[in-house]
Amino acid sequence: MKSSKTNIRSLNLTQLEEWFIQSGDKKFRANQVYDWLWKKGVQSIEAMSNLSKETRNKLSESFEFPALQLNKTQLSADGTMKIRFITNDQHFIEGVIIPADDRITACVSSQIGCSLTCAFCATGKMKRERNLYFYEIFDQVAMLNRIAEKQYGRGLTNIVFMGMGEPLLNYSQVTEAIEKITSPDSLGMSPRRITVSTAGIAKMIRKLGDDQVRYRLALSLHAANDEKRSKIMPINDENNLESLITALNYFFQKTKSRISLEYILFKNVNDSMEDAKQLVRLARRIPCRVNIIEYNPVEGTGFEKASEENTQRFANALEQSGITVTIRHSRGKDIDAACGQLANKD
């Protein structure tokens, strides 16, 4: 049954102040509550320990506080952590913490499941249940930050929207979550350390440009010709490469932010020298860098990762043509936490 109470996180500071005044309480209490909600990122009204029991009870009578809860934690041999959360309506989502010498990156989800059916991806085999609300995305980041501080002795430095779901199909909630994550009144993270990754929805990429977002954009490309890309990513049928190139250039023109092209190498699918030439031709048309990603096997897809030798040869071909390229090695494969593997498996 749907609650008749208001979600406390739907109120801004002014609205909270008005509520406290109308309740006959002190206006400054609103600042304390707002601090608990967005700076400390608590998961319940009960956790707001500097408020009196009476104030907390009053808040609980008026407001609901749906929040993610921790469900399961797994630690990979390489130090990567996969965290499973459970939503208020009993759905599972997953996030990943990837530690490195110079950074701690959180990979977060934007939807419960996914509707895009990319052929190589475990999440794509799941049904999309619903979009995540902005506060659920925020909860992931706040909780992953606390876990990182405890596990690695330092908090998150970077966030990538590369978990479950397509962020640009949940545009308003993702952008609102990022506003909270980057606000000085909240977690205060730099937007330049946040990357939103999309399978490629041209009109929404243009909207990012129109909104002049300050965070970074990555395109999951994986093939540089339409026929091949449509086979592995059906979304390409409606958002072909030409439309994406136009949209990405528009985004750059509006934001001056260089795009990352993500390219997973699949054995005997997109790893030939002809594929490399096609990628060079495409990459020269966009202000971008290319990240070559090692494929993480997903049962039942039929895809295999390209050999180390072929991966290096492919990267060299791009570099020799003047393309900035990085090879990204997989992390967390042993706990199904690597790119494309998030599927709520036990």
Catalytic residue list: 94, 339
- Contact between 157 and 104 under an 8 Å Cβ cutoff? The reply is yes
- Give 38's DSSP letter: I
Q: What is the helix (H) or strand (E) element at residue 97, kind and residue range?
A: strand 92-99
Return the bridge partners of 301, or none: none
Q: Say if CB 61 and CB 72 are below 8 A apart.
A: no
Q: At 52, which amino acid appears?
A: S
Check residue 68 and report its DSSP letter.
-
Locus of tokens 């979550």: 177
Measured between alpha carbons, how far is 16 from 182 in angstroms, rounded to an integer?
Answer: 21
The DSSP bridge pattern shows strands 6-7 and 63-64 to be parallel
Q: Using N-to-C axis directions, what is the helix angle for 241-255 and 202-210, rounded to 10°?
A: 10
Q: Write out the E strands in 266-317.
A: 288-294
Selection from 33, 28, 90 nearest residue 58 by Cα:
33
Q: Find where tokens 């990156």 sit.
A: 105
Task: Select from 304, 229, 220, 224 the least CA-distant residue to 266.
Answer: 304
Residues whose CB is less than 8 angstroms from the CB of residue 38 and which lie 6 or more positions away in sequence, other chains included: 138, 180, 183, 185, 186, 187
How far is residue 76's CA from residue 78's CA, in Å, rounded to a whole number? 5
Hey, what are 73's tokens? 């934690």
